Amino acid sequence: MRLLNRSAGRLSRHRRGPLAGMLVIIAGLLLTGGIFTALVNTTASADETVSSADQVAQGRQLFLVSCSFCHGQNGEGVRTEDGNQIGPPLAGVGAAAVDFQVGTGRMPMVQPGAQVPSKPESFTDEETAALAAYVASLGPGPAIPDESDYSIEGLSDSEREQAIANGGQIFLTNCTACHNFEGSGGAMPRGGYAPNLHSTSARHIYEAMLTGPQNMPNFANGNLSPEEKRDVIAYLYSLREMPSYGGFGLGGLGPVPEGLAAWLLGIGGLVGFAVWIAAHTTRTNKKKVEA
Ligand code: HEC
Ligand code: HEC
């Protein structure tokens, strides 16, 4: 409730500010840019699944330069003499893990810490594909998903609504514990955190579920079918398209949560009004004292 009021307050403050119009335009542009990038990325992935010997060789070269220090010359992993792991073995993690780790800039890791953060990517798409092909050649593991697995573009309006509702349920059951019910993330034990999911591309969302990076469990296709994964993506994307009422993502879950939200917003408004009155009174009192 406090959060609700605070962000509502922030919203209205910004709206009143002279820069408000500009901010809205910038936000709109960023959003369009993000969607465009997501689309471009997804179309590029189609031919990445086919890996030639050349690609594996190129990947190995890159790996030796950028990754072998921690993961070993042949991806066998590296341990210090007292048994600390510098980098885990990579045989069997699959191309999907590399595409996720390198594509979100987590790898190459720069410094050890509670959690390896994402950062701007250090490799081109082609280099990432080569690295993925090389690691995939070390042992069988999950492949980079096909665009048809994660894309929600081809869905009709009603299929999409169905996917969002179903994905919302799956997300509530499997993901909210760590990522919060609207995907805005949260703290984890020992200095870790579950990141917010507001700008992760569809492919990386799919791969995160498939490979379970760091403290996240993995959701292999046996646990969560490809369609269920796609539905989760549809749900997360629907949160991005929605105006944010103080961070309440409903995901089209039906009249009950919507009624609840309306109720909370109504009460929120009343509380906000009460706070305003209180602040107003204090100010008036202060003036009286000063006078
Ligand atoms: C400075 C050391 C370091 C470097 C350099 C590094 N890594 Fe890693 N890598 C790690 C560590 C540590 C982890 C384990 C992180 C965790 O899961 O907690 C890891 C995890 C991974 C994983 C996930 C494995 C899994 O089980 O899913 C992949 C894939 C990976 N690295 C690929 C790469 C690639 C490709 C490169 C080079 C571009 C690279 N790494 C460079 C240290 C490093
Ligand atoms: C036990 C807690 C936990 C659960 C449950 C969990 N995650 Fe995660 N998730 C994490 C953590 C921790 C990370 C960060 C891992 C890292 O940085 O390598 C993460 C990372 C991610 C990322 C990468 C985000 C980015 O942009 O870097 C996505 C996407 C994601 N999770 C989606 C999901 C989905 C979808 C579900 C449910 C099917 C789920 N997670 C369930 C803890 C969890």
Tokens linked to 108: 């190459």
Residue 216 lies in a domain: yes
Q: Is 109 in the pocket of ligand 1 (CB under 6 A)?
A: yes
Q: Which pLDDT does position 179 carry in this prediction?
A: 95
Q: Which pLDDT does position 21 carry in this prediction?
A: 66
Higher model confidence: residue 262 or residue 109? 109
Give distance in angstroms: CA of 9 to centre of ligand 1.
42
- Residue 224: band (very low, low, confident or very high) from pLDDT cuts 50, 70, 90: very high
Ligand at shortest distance from the CA of 236: 2
- For range 86-103, the mean pLDDT: 96
Tokens linked to 38: 């997501």
Q: Is 60 in the pocket of ligand 1 (CB under 6 A)?
A: no
Q: How much of the chain exceeds pLDDT 70, in percent?
A: 72
Residue 187 lies in a domain: yes
Q: Is 107 in the pocket of ligand 1 (CB under 6 A)?
A: yes
Tell me how many degrees the CA angle 68-134-49 measures, rounded to the nearest 5: 145
Residue 96 lies in a domain: yes
Residues 189 and 234 reside in one and the same domain: yes
Straight-line distance from the first to the last Cα atom of the chain, in angstroms, rounded to the nearest whole number: 37
- Residue 285: band (very low, low, confident or very high) from pLDDT cuts 50, 70, 90: low
Residue 274 lies in a domain: no
Residue 251 lies in a domain: no
Show which of 226, 245, 264 is a domain's final residue. Answer: 245
Task: Give residue-wise pLDDT tens across range 127-137.
Answer: 999 999 999 99
Count of the separate structural domains present in the chain: 2
When mean pLDDT is compared across 37-51, 154-168, 229-243, the lowest value belongs to: 37-51
**How far lies 236's CA from each of 98, 134, 135, in Å?**
23, 31, 29
Q: Which domain holds residue 171?
A: 145-245
Residue having the nearest C-alpha atom to atom 16 of ligand 1: 214
Give distance in angstroms: CA of 119 to centre of ligand 1.
14
| Residues 49, 180: Cα–Cα separation, whole Å | 33
Residue 259 in this model has a pLDDT that exceeds 70: no
Residue 164 lies in a domain: yes
Q: What is the pTM (predicted TM-score) of this model?
A: 0.74
Q: What CATH number corresponds to the domain at position 102?
A: 1.10.760.10
Task: Give the burial class of 212: count Cβ atoms within 10 A of its Cβ; 0-12 exposed, 13-18 middle, 19 or more buried.
Answer: middle
Residues 93 and 156 reside in one and the same domain: no
